[in-house]
Amino acid sequence: MAAVLTINDCNLHNTEVPGKNEDTFQYYTEKFADIKILRYQVPGFEDLSLRQKKLIYHLSQAALAGRDIVYDQNGRYNLAILRTLENIVLTYTGDRSTEEFEKFMVYTKCFWFSNGIYHHYSSDKFLPNFSKEFFDFLVKQSDPNGFPLEEEKEINDLMQIIVPVMFNPEVMPKKVSQDPSNDMVLNSAGNFYEGVNEKEVEDYYKKLKNPVDKYPVSYGLNSKLVKKDGEIIEKVYKSGGMYGAAIDEIVKHLILAKEFTDNEQQNATILSLISYYKTGNLKKWDEYNMEWVKDTSSHVDFVNGFVEVYDDPLAIKATWESIVNFKDIEAIHRTELLSSNAQWFENNAPIDDMFKKSEVKGVSAKVITVAQLGGACHPATPIGINLPNSDWIRKEYGSKSVTIDNITYAYERVSLKSGFLEEFAVDQAEIDIIRKYGYLMSAIHTDLHECLGHGSGQMNYGVTAEMLKSYHSTLEETRADLFALYYIMDKKMVELGLVPTLDAAKAEYSEYIRNGLLTQLVRVEPGKNLEESHMRNRQLISKWCFENGKVDNVIEKFKRDGKTYIRINDYDKLRELIAKLLKEVQRIKSEGDYEAGKVLVENYGVAVDQELLLEIRERYYKLNLAPYSGFINPEYEFVTKDGEVIDVIVSYPVDFTRQMLEYGKKYSFLPTYN
């Protein structure tokens, strides 16, 4: 019989504080299912002032305090399943060396990685690779007092709830349904709605909106819409409301962080966020975003809130997330150049003049070092951010964009010896130019996408993002990517010193089109089509350019030795196609043209060539790679002397399981059943 496992027993490799030579740092830690777990360094943290280190510490605690929220938003039974799995991992007394227990651990790690039972990218439910009988055995061999039981309920009652949700593929099969032919609310298992259908949701929020309001709030952003006894009500996320216990913890750490802000503007930003969390008032959320946009001088910055609407098929409700960061002074020069020239890029964009901003306000951009990831940004994380999402705030006050350098650097270090490029690049010349310029061009693409792409253009009066419904996220990402692709091969980028030569930009064109037409298919299960917005956007651009460039053979798809390859034959004509598509996508967004957006996405961004998919997956998995990556967070600890904090030190755990169990112990603030 195995001993009861404690959190410390899971710390197989302890933590490390790397020395000066970063090449000794262990970025890659483990692989399971289709996932690899990495770590990221926080270079420059030791050089911060003690005040800034304390600020990062408390903002990091606020980032972790909302952990339960994203689990619950991703599915109404996720917290019950989470606490059941963690209790088994900690207290199971049976043999842990068996193949079945290893399958259980893989499922548990996938659950942690995706913050619930739905794949973080496809939104499909992933099923256990072990039997219900074995799961029942695990439960019986674990501490009965550690399971999340409702009052006067028994373990059998818990099992009757969670077993069908975990094991039955027909029960709540998809977190986000984007099929417009069916009711997308009823067919999505995300926990934003209960007892209401798509029409009821649309009618409810339509009544709240004033079509002539120049400064509309984002109705529904921070609430769950529920119908009870025939009445539709909003359960607002706030102190004293839904998720109140976790929000109170977030607020507690924001109050502590406020004592160590860089300046008065940052202090005002945190105060406005606290006010929003305490009231749930969306006008307060707008006030916070306006204050946050104005805070451009602080060295330390953060995102914390209900922000992105990707997980709602109607693009109304936001998932909770947090990122804590500070400026990368050495790398920030390129984003400062872009933001200072924002009006030039806007004026020269290949879109109709009526959709251009006559005055680009408040565009700020920076390269950052992430210090902590939380909520929907962990373990999988974006590599760039552009906020706020409110179009009128962007127009009136501007936006802030970031490129996350230490995350992309960790990806790059792990990929260097993977063999991926050698397998899928068309020839040695392409390999050479990508090895020479690929990392830089990818970073500049992200800068352009986040700094200028999302912030460019303007909506017609009265048009809102929700008019595009389930296609909004895909079309917005398409627009930002097209903007980046168009300008990365512009001589202005060479004049600014951001791109060494226009030939260097060919590396990004080659990687992007190859990914959109071929290699991203490794993330798609056989028989499936594309569901995730970013994957749809990349295929939409690549396939549209391929189809519309056939006459001139702009992009060539061919087979060699039974393998499919992509070659770009005319980069200049490809850029012309990108400009043409950008013009149309901007028009669709600016006019809220749902039907045109639907046609574009459905025709180019959804369907997958299944024969090609099988080929690409076979080639990829022969390399023993995992298509998805996520991160273990660094950890921060106070150093005290005579009762005073004299320093904050950072360490880098290497065991994913240990960190997840520690988070479960420290940051489980919500009741299991909301």
Q: Which DSSP string corresponds to 94-161?
A: S-TTSHHHHHHHHHHHHHHHHTSSB-TTT-BBPPPSS-HHHHHHHHHTS-GGGS-PPTT--HHHHHHH
Share of the chain above pLDDT 90, in %: 86
pLDDT of residue 412: 87
pLDDT of residue 182: 94
* Two tokens, residue 202: 């649309």
Is residue 3 pLDDT above 70, yes or no?
no
Output the pTM of the full model: 0.86
| Cα 188–Cα 73–Cα 203 angle in degrees, nearest 5 | 55
What integer is the mean pLDDT of 529-547? Answer: 96
- C-beta of residue 95 within 8 angstroms of C-beta of residue 137: no
Q: What is the dihedral of CA 645, 648, 653, 659, to 10 degrees?
A: 50
Is residue 12 pLDDT above 50, yes or no?
no
Instruction: Indicate the pairing of strand 628-632 with strand 35-39.
Output: parallel
Is residue 294 classed as helix, strand or coil in its secondary structure? Answer: helix
Is residue 5 pLDDT above 70, yes or no?
no
> Hey, what amino acid is at 434?
I
Is residue 374 classed as helix, strand or coil in its secondary structure? Answer: strand
C-alpha 237/C-alpha 222 separation (Å) is 6
Burial 228-250 (b: 16+ CB within 10 A, else e): eeeeeebbbbbbebbbbbbbbbb
Place of tokens 């030569």: 501
* Two tokens, residue 588: 């669709």
What integer is the mean pLDDT of 404-408? Answer: 92
Place of tokens 């938003």: 73
pLDDT of residue 92: 98
C-alpha 622/C-alpha 619 separation (Å) is 5
pLDDT of residue 455: 86
pLDDT for 266-301, tens place per residue?
Answer: 999 999 999 999 999 999 999 999 999 999 999 999
Burial class (CB in 10 A: 0-12, 13-18, 19+), 198: buried
- Band of the pLDDT at 22, cuts 50, 70, 90? low
CATH 3.30.540.30 at 41-64+191-324, yes or no: yes
296: Cβ contacts below 8 Å, ≥ 6 apart = 364, 400
C-alpha count within 13 angstroms, C-beta hemisphere, residue 586: 26
C-alpha 371/C-alpha 180 separation (Å) is 39
622: Cβ contacts below 8 Å, ≥ 6 apart = none
C-alpha 606/C-alpha 540 separation (Å) is 8
The DSSP code for 398 is -
62: Cβ contacts below 8 Å, ≥ 6 apart = 249, 250, 253, 254, 257, 302, 304, 322, 374
User: What residue ranges of the chain are covered by domains with CATH 3.30.540.30?
Assistant: 41-64+191-324
Burial 268-305 (b: 16+ CB within 10 A, else e): bbbbbbbebbbbbbbebbbbbbbbbbbbeebebbbbbb
pLDDT of residue 23: 59
pLDDT for 52-67, tens place per residue?
Answer: 999 999 999 999 999 9
pLDDT of residue 10: 34
pLDDT for 215-250, tens place per residue?
Answer: 999 999 999 999 999 999 999 999 999 999 999 999
Is residue 4 pLDDT above 50, yes or no?
no
- Band of the pLDDT at 1, cuts 50, 70, 90? very low
Query: What are the helix and strand counts (H, E) for the chain?
Result: 24, 16
Share of the chain above pLDDT 70, in %: 96
C-alpha 335/C-alpha 337 separation (Å) is 5
What integer is the mean pLDDT of 435-444? Answer: 93
For the chain, what is the mean pLDDT?
93
